[in-house]
Amino acid sequence: MRLKVAAVAVALLAGLTAGCAPDGGTADKAPATPATPSGYPEMQKKVAAAESAVARADQDATQDDTDH
């Protein structure tokens, strides 16, 4: 029984080692340098503008609450 458990443990360890090795395993690798989608800089500008608008609205709401 111990021999069987040891054999299973060795097989599992070998599988994990092969799968986790830098150049081993069968998993597809991600590209080394992912391509930036077109329009990404414009999207970043829009997100920054939206965040600024939310911050201003939050500040205005806080000021309105303290005025009463």
2-51 tens-digit pLDDT: 777 788 877 777 776 766 656 555 556 666 667 888 889 999 999 999 99
Q: Locate tokens 């970043």: which residue?
A: 44
Q: What does the DSSP 8-state code read for residue 1?
A: -
**pTM assigned to the model:** 0.43
Domain-by-domain residue ranges, the chain? Answer: 39-68
Query: What pLDDT does 44 receive?
Result: 94
CB distance 30 to 38 below 8 Å: no
Confidence of residue 66 (pLDDT cuts 50, 70, 90): confident
- The torsion region of residue 39 among left (phi > 0), alpha (psi -120 to 50) and beta comes to left
CB distance 8 to 14 below 8 Å: no
Query: What pLDDT does 17 receive?
Result: 72
The answer to whether the Cα torsion of 24, 25, 26, 31 is positive or negative is: negative
